[in-house]
Amino acid sequence: MVGVQTPGLVVGDTVGVRYQVLERLGQGGTADVYRVRHKYLGAERALKVLNPRCAHVWRRLLDEGCVQSQLRHPNIVEVFDVMDVGGLPALVMELIEGPDLEQWIKIHEPALNEVLTVFRGIVTGVSHAHSNGVVHRDLKPPNILLGKGAYWLHPKIADFGLAKLRASTNGVRTHAGARLGTPGHMAPEQALDSSNVDWRADLYSLGTILYAMLWGMRPFKEGGALRLLHEVAQGKRMEERSRGEVVPHEVHRTLRALLQSDPARRPADCRAVLDMLDGEPQGMPVRGLQPDLEADQEPSIYDEATVRLPPPKPMGMLWLVAVLVAAGGVGLGVLVVVLAMSWQVP
């Protein structure tokens, strides 16, 4: 309703001359998101405005817009423009009507064909980012939005605010030793030094996403730093729940490969991940970011399954604990480092 007050903006306000605020869609840790309509074209967009309490991370929001605006792909949320809203940076983005992946998993227990269809779309989007020299560094279910088509879900990767660029001129500025990401979804090596991770850190995060889609939970117990450390070090994932349908060997094998603590033992790239799901042998790890996935792939992955969309529900904030397990040396040498801290994730 026009005139209803919302924090930061009033519904009915004109923003940047061209956009009218329709409603507030949600509030995150660092930004508020509004539904807006272009006054002349009639197109509806999402407007992501930095929260005034988080002005210290304004550079990160601009980095997010810069990275996403260059990654044009059906499985990545598109950014159209950067604006100034009351002295705060804001992004004009593609409006995604569906829930995020975490909400969908909680509400709708997806069938195996739904899981694999959505997961393939996520992997395809990540492959496109990698082929353009971008490592996301914060892949997790809340950062995967599910767009509604007539019959299908379209996974869309969002929140590139922690992304690392191969040629780091416009990406997030990460100092050596800095720790960025979400414990429970980030690779062990990322907890030590986020500035030195490569595309294989995203592959580990893809493993945690696939695990959550299959069994509705994270791979490792979260009963404190030491327990999580032990579980990751020993590779003792939580007991998998019954799905009422058999999970194929190829899926288990792909999951084990993605969740390897040693980056060198993970699949070579996103193409290798899809090959493993199809029963092909795992590719050998190679150096450098990998070629784009879509060059010789089928035009669409969305017509394999019909997915029922539940309504979204608001998300809460988590206090996060980071744990690193680094295995190295020859033979039985194992180095264990515990990092306990408060994390602020955009």
Q: Which residues are catalytic?
A: 138
- Provide the token pair at 103: 């909400």
**CA–CA distances in Å: residue 21 to residues 34, 63, 197, 327:** 7, 24, 39, 51
Comparing CA positions, the residue from 151, 262, 270 lying closest to residue 210 is 270
**Distance, CA of 281 to CA of 278 (rounded, Å):** 9
Residue 288's CB is within 10 A of a number of other CB atoms, namely 11
Q: Is the CB of residue 146 less than 8 Å from the CB of residue 104? A: yes
Beta bridge partners of 50: 31
| Number of helical (H) and strand (E) elements in the chain, helices listed first | 8, 12
**Distance, CA of 36 to CA of 33 (rounded, Å):** 9
**Distance, CA of 189 to CA of 97 (rounded, Å):** 35
